[in-house]
Amino acid sequence: MEDKLDRLIEILLKERGESAPDLDGIEKRRLFRALVNTRMPKPASEEFLQMQDEYLQEEIRSKGVTDLSSLSPIKPDIYLWKGDITTLKCDAIVNAANSQMLGCFCPNHGCIDNAIHTFAGVQLRCECYDLMTKQGYEEPVGKAKITCAYNLPCKYVLHTVGPIVYGELTQKYEQDLESCYQSCLALADEKGIASIAFCCISTGEFHFPNERASQIAIRTVEEYKERTHSKVKVIFNVFKEYDYEIYARLLKANN
């Protein structure tokens, strides 16, 4: 895999008119991710795509893939799972996108948008670019779009733009976050998606309070399923222990 990584870096640097520096394994992986993060949406050669796909799939396998079938629901059709969403095998995962819908361009940034685009591959940014070009305007808050997942173990990625909280948490922010979950669920049902994993939309970089965001997420999912009789399996995916404890407490309280 090191030979593939070297060649991938070489191709990406050549696009920029640069030559490859002498780096160790960890530094090479960081450089590859940074180059992918900052690459504009444009076609890539068959050689690059084949090597990229093989490299990313091996990287995901090495992290360990979790299949939804191995998890137990915390209540009917609702799951809580702590882990890296790019390693979850289910029908669809939800990406907390920005309004440009092109992924995070900050090299090696820790947001979920960066991780999903990195491990899906450069094809994802290109598909998002095509969608946004046809749309002709930035993605509104609270809506949802669907793309292929490419090298991720899931089948699809649903992209939604959550509200960015400035100052006091208002009713409008809460309604916008609720719309994110409703839009994703409705799109999942429309496309026949059997299982969907939600990240903690709008928390972290978008400053939505974790506790309130969790309350809105759970309530919206439960009300949607009750209202529509949807059979979609919902996974609440968290990465931090703090969020896991919030979701576990709220879900058990609602049993």
Rounded distance, CA 239 to CA 84, Å? 6
- Helices 46-63 and 112-120 meet at what angle, rounded to 10? 120
What integer is the mean pLDDT of 93-105? 97
Rounded distance, CA 11 to CA 32, Å? 10
Residue 197, SS3?
strand
> Residue 208 region, left (φ>0) first, then alpha (ψ -120 to 50), else beta?
beta
Residue 55, SS3?
helix
In which band, very low, low, confident or very high, does the pLDDT at 22 lie, cut at 50, 70 and 90? confident
Q: How high is the pLDDT of residue 19? A: 85
Residue 255: pLDDT over 80:
no
Position 70, amino acid: S
- Mean pLDDT (the chain) is 96
Q: How high is the pLDDT of residue 99? A: 96
Residue 187: pLDDT over 90:
yes
Q: How high is the pLDDT of residue 23? A: 82
Q: How high is the pLDDT of residue 2? A: 84
Q: Hey, which bits of the chain come out as E strands?
A: 66-67, 78-82, 88-89, 92-97, 145-148, 156-161, 195-198, 233-238
What integer is the mean pLDDT of 96-113? 96
Residue 241, SS3?
helix
What integer is the mean pLDDT of 201-215? 95
Token pair recorded at residue 20: 């490859």
The DSSP output letter for 91 is: S
